[in-house]
Amino acid sequence: MCVVCLAPATGYNFDQITCESCKAFFRRNALKSSNVIKCRCNGVTDINVHNRKRCKACRLAKCFAKGMRKEWILTDDEKRTKKQKIEENRRLRQLQNCQTKTDEENIDNSAEEEEESVQNALSVQCDTCLISSQDWITLEKIQCAYAQSVKLNSLVGLPLYPSTRKLSTPAQMVNEPTNIHSTRLITYFKQLPEFCELEEDDKLTLIKHNLLGLVFIRATLIYKPANDTYQEYGTDDCIFDGKDLIECYGEQLYKKSTQIMCSFIDIVECDRLVVKIILIIMLFSKGYSTCTIEYPEPVLKNSTQVFQSQNIYVDLLWRYCEEKFGFFNTIKLLVRLITLCMAVESVAKETQQYVQSKLTADELAPLMQSVMHLS
Query: Which residues here bind DNA, judged by CB under 7 A?
Result: 7, 11-15, 19-25, 27-29, 52-53, 56, 72-74, 79, 82-83, 85-86, 89-90, 127-128
Buried b (16+ CB within 10 A) or exposed e, 17-34: ebbebbbebbbebbeeee
The listed partner (Zn ion, a copy of itself, DNA, none) that binds 292, CB under 5 to 8 Å by sort, is a copy of itself
Per CB under 8 A, the list member of 4, 142, 186, 281 interacting with a copy of itself is 281
Shortest Å distance, C-beta 34 to a copy of itself: 10
> What is the C-alpha R_g of the chain?
28
Shortest Å distance, C-beta 341 to a copy of itself: 7
Helix (H, G, I), strand (E, B) or coil at 346: helix
Q: Give the number of other CB atoms < 10 A from CB of residue 13.
A: 23
Strands, E, within the chain: which ranges? 11-13, 16-18, 164-165, 223-224, 229-230, 239-241
Q: Please give the residues from 16 up to 55 whose contact with Zn ion meets the rule CB under 5 A.
A: 19, 22
Query: Smaller CB distance to Zn ion: residue 5 or 371?
Result: 5
Query: Per CB under 8 A, does 341 bind a copy of itself?
Result: yes
Query: Smaller CB distance to DNA: residue 73 or 98?
Result: 73
Surface-to-core class of residue 11, CB atoms within 10 Å of its CB (0-12 exposed, 13-18 middle, 19+ buried): exposed
Query: Per CB under 8 A, does 304 bind a copy of itself?
Result: no
CA distance linking residue 13 with residue 185, whole number of Å: 53
Per CB under 8 A, the list member of 98, 286, 302, 369 interacting with a copy of itself is 286
Half-sphere exposure of 292 (CA within 13 A, CB side): 11
In DSSP terms, 224 is beta-bridged to: 229
Angle at 88 between CA 112 and CA 74, to 5 degrees: 160
At how many degrees (to 10) do helices 303-325 and 133-151 cross? Answer: 110
# residues contacting Zn ion (CB under 5 A): 6
The listed partner (DNA, a copy of itself, Zn ion, none) that binds 291, CB under 5 to 8 Å by sort, is a copy of itself
The strand order across the sheet containing 229-230 reads 164-165, 239-241, 229-230, 223-224
> What string marks each residue from 97 to 136 as x (binds a copy of itself by CB under 8 A) or -?
------------------------------x---------
Question: For residues 1 and 8, is the Cβ–Cβ distance under 8 A?
Answer: yes
Query: Smaller CB distance to DNA: residue 68 or 192?
Result: 68
Per CB under 8 A, the list member of 7, 49, 224, 354 interacting with a copy of itself is 354
Query: Per CB under 5 A, does 5 bind Zn ion?
Result: yes
Shortest Å distance, C-beta 47 to Zn ion: 8
In DSSP terms, 36 is beta-bridged to: none
The listed partner (a copy of itself, Zn ion, DNA, none) that binds 4, CB under 5 to 8 Å by sort, is Zn ion
Shortest Å distance, C-beta 119 to DNA: 20
Per CB under 8 A, the list member of 50, 54, 79, 82 interacting with a copy of itself is 54
Q: In this structure, are strands 164-165 and 239-241 parallel, antiparallel, or unpaired? A: parallel
Q: Site residues (CB under 8 A) for a copy of itself?
A: 15, 32-33, 35-36, 40-41, 54, 71-72, 127, 252, 256, 281, 285-289, 291-293, 296-297, 310-311, 314-315, 318, 322, 327-328, 331-332, 334-335, 338-339, 341-343, 345-346, 349-350, 353-354, 357
